[in-house]
A = this chain, B = another copy of it.
């Protein structure tokens, strides 16, 4: 008998009718003889509704109380799903974070899971019950409720699958699986049957929203096979797993687009040792995540330093940078909030040269100017003017992925 962890996101449990459909699916899996543990998100819109109540009462709501508040969203869904399963004659029991001792640190709003006591869940599974777990929440050493950050019900599911040594972790969502590109932008995007953890990590980091990046990391660390599939149909999804030889035959697995980028340049900085630390130390202290960094070569002892940050962080980043620019006597600060990052990802890049060059020439043929470039072992990212973002994505998808164009063998 195999053990499956299934995770259903907010849209999958967004109404009474959808909860009924999820219960049918779970009961069906159970009936086929599998042991099933289910992790659920809050009903779509519920977390925002709760946070709105909080912000009506406080400009900066206390984080401990905020966590206690929003954790009710998943509590409601898990109880509803369990009682629906019971009504269908499928024995079920729900658990909250504190009940499974999903132990986290005390960083409210973005806590990290330290351990899960899987014994109680295991006992219930062995009694033939479906175990329903409220996602997104844990409990710290003081017994306070914590939450794991937006989209973190995926993380609960993967951590639970790891703790239970489950055979697979199925992530049910409102799309069929992982696509070669966002189908809303690239009509020709194809669903991938398989993708490696490394590629999925790059794609998640680059703006593909289907899986939360921390949950892919965790799945990779514990070797949990992830399946991304739709809760609205029976289509087979995408398996995210360990790479195998055949995967390297594919040059490019996907193209991603992140329109939520902005760019900051400090102009005319004296090029001296310790400069980067002087600039990026305070940015990190402010809790701002910097993505790409470019330092132009300098001939005359002065340089320009350019980096990208998420658009939401731009204002705060500028406040820090304006101050530092004065301290280090830079000649000025420029910024650009209408930029996009377009990336291609694929294991095949490790073994095949020339992928980046081909990417640049494809973009040049469309007269799209490249502002910044960043590469890793299995991805190439470029920053372009925001208005060319979608065009760049479609063009790269056509070039690398259309009609199997991306496969080296083709």
Contacts and interface: CB of A to CB of B under 8 A. Distances in A.
A73 to B, nearest CB: 8
B86 A62 contact: yes
A141 interface: no
A64 B87 contact: no
A56 B99 contact: no
Contacts of A61: 83, 87
A83 B65 contact: yes
A99 B144 CA distance: 8
Contact of A68 (B59, B86, B94, B144): B94
Interface string A9-33: 0000000100110010000000000
Interface stretch (A74-82, A248-256, A290-298, A317-325): A74-82
A69 interface: yes
Interface in A48-62: 50, 53-54, 56-62
A38 to B, nearest CB: 13
A54 B69 contact: no
Interface in A32-53: 50, 53
A84 interface: yes
Interface string A232-266: 00000000000000000000000000000000000
A23 B83 CA distance: 35
A76 B86 contact: no
A79 B69 contact: yes
A64 B53 CA distance: 28
A87 B57 contact: yes
A72 B42 CA distance: 12
A93 interface: yes
Contacts of A20: 57
A161 B79 CA distance: 31
A75 B68 CA distance: 7
B58 A87 contact: yes
A292 B87 CA distance: 37
A39 to B, nearest CB: 15
Nearest to A65: B83
A76 B50 contact: yes
Contacts of A94: 65, 68
Contacts of A53: 16, 76, 80
Interface in A129-161: 143-145
A213 interface: no
Nearest to A74: B72
Contacts of A54: 79-80, 83
A66 interface: yes
Contacts of A143: 98-99
A16 B96 contact: no
A191 to B, nearest CB: 32
Contacts of A16: 53, 56-57
B93 A80 contact: no
18 contacts: A16-B56, A16-B57, A58-B84, A62-B82, A62-B87, A65-B93, A66-B79, A66-B83, A68-B75, A68-B78, A68-B79, A68-B82, A69-B75, A69-B76, A72-B75, A72-B76, A98-B98, A99-B144
Which 9 A-B pairs have CB atoms at the shortest separation, nearest pair first? A58-B87, A69-B79, A72-B72, A65-B83, A68-B79, A57-B84, A62-B86, A65-B79, A62-B83
